[in-house]
Chain A
Amino acid sequence: MPHLTFGRHRMRPVANGPAVRGLHGDVSMAELLLRFLLGGVAVSLFAAIAEVFKPKTFSGIFAAAPAVALVSLALLFGQRGGAVVREHALGMAWGGVSFLAYACACVFTTARTRLPVWIGAVVSWAVWFAVAAVGWVWVRPS
């Protein structure tokens, strides 16, 4: 079976056919579609669980559930093995710190009555990117 190359790793493709090509590897369209569907289902499931709980401070926990991560890491385990999953996990751990900073920013912006909630939440993405950039520079293994 032909393999796709991801840097020094080799990946078993989900399907042959068109692919997105990147510096660190290629991803087949079939795999992207699979990830989109599974990611969507996982997030919808956690969103439904959140709707069942009260108060909002508790149901809000599920807004930061590892829904997409579960699906993506499970696929990664099968395709590229535990070593690559661990490299993703390191990035994700820092991403979690970035998420915490982002959520704090959202608490601040949602309290500003003149600012539409969605604008405040979108602008707060800058906080996530800023903290993520710190990790990219200082935490990412060289």
Chain B
Amino acid sequence: MRPEVDFRGLEKPKAWEYAVRFGFGGLVALIASVTGAALGDFAGGLALAFPAILPAALTLVKEHDGRQQASDDARGARLGSVGLTLFALTVLLLGPRGPWLTLPLALLVWAAVAIGTWMLIYGRR
């Protein structure tokens, strides 16, 4: 199995569905900021990995493509979350070197880990 690119997929969600994701995304950023101020930096970091968007995302996938596809979406999120942990560890390691090196490299690590594990698990099928 290989990942496929299909730009027609962009037409599938309605405008309000993008708006829902925008709203939830903004909300997580707010929660992380307030949590950091209220409970400290560690809690602020925890909140950056709070899966606030997934319930809405899974519900929309179920509405469009069915329950099995929603389940597959959650399976993919597992791999993304492994990448998320390695993203954070990269920031932890490279933080003192500044944002211009740290953040792009951490994003690269996230993509490499998430896509790499996907290729290992699903690429051989």
Contacts and interface: CB of A to CB of B under 8 A. Distances in A.
In which size bucket is the chain B interface? 35 or more
Which secondary structure dominates chain A's binding surface? helix
B16 interface: no
A6 B37 CA distance: 7
Contacts of A121: 54-55, 58-59
A15 interface: no
Contacts of A27: 33-34, 36-37
Interface in B39-55: 39-51, 53-55
Contact of B49 (A26, A78, A96): A96
Interface string A82-99: 111111111111111111
A93 B88 CA distance: 5
B37 to A, nearest CB: 3
Interface of A: 6-7, 20-27, 31-32, 35-44, 47-48, 51-74, 77-78, 82-100, 102-104, 106-107, 110-111, 113, 117-118, 121-122, 125, 128, 132, 135-136, 139-141
